[in-house]
Amino acid sequence: MRSAAMVLGVIGGCLAVLVGFFSYGYTEVVNRYGEVEGLLHQVRDPALIRTASFLAPLLAIAGGAMARMRALWGGVLLLVSAGLMYYAFGFGVFTMFPIGMTGLAGVLALAAGKPDEPKAHF
């Protein structure tokens, strides 16, 4: 289950990078060139979109990378990433796979049967 969590987390994070690029870019275009009636309108909270565009993919890739050795930490990061994407972008055609993959990876990492190895954190 840890390997599946790792793969799903990294792939979901890579897909989230694409969503983040376009979301951040959209807010920048509207800021720079203004709103166009019937075509471009600024989102309610551009700072939230920009923050989520940067943090959600980062947390997903880091959580996926950590899922094999530190399943608890990786699972928490993956679930936070999925929640942040859902909160900021909503559930739609472009976000369903990143949210689904990172959410499933987080659940798999937390449900991994073998406990983490007792190691020093430093």
pTM strictly above 0.85: yes
List the end-to-end C-alpha distance of the chain, in Å, as a whole number. 26
Which of 4-8, 40-44, 79-83, 117-121 is least confident? 117-121
- Give, in order, the Cα–Cα distances in Å from 7 to each of 15, 65, 73, 86: 12, 8, 16, 20
Give per-residue pLDDT as tens, 11-69.
999 999 999 999 999 999 999 998 888 888 988 999 999 999 999 999 999 999 999 88
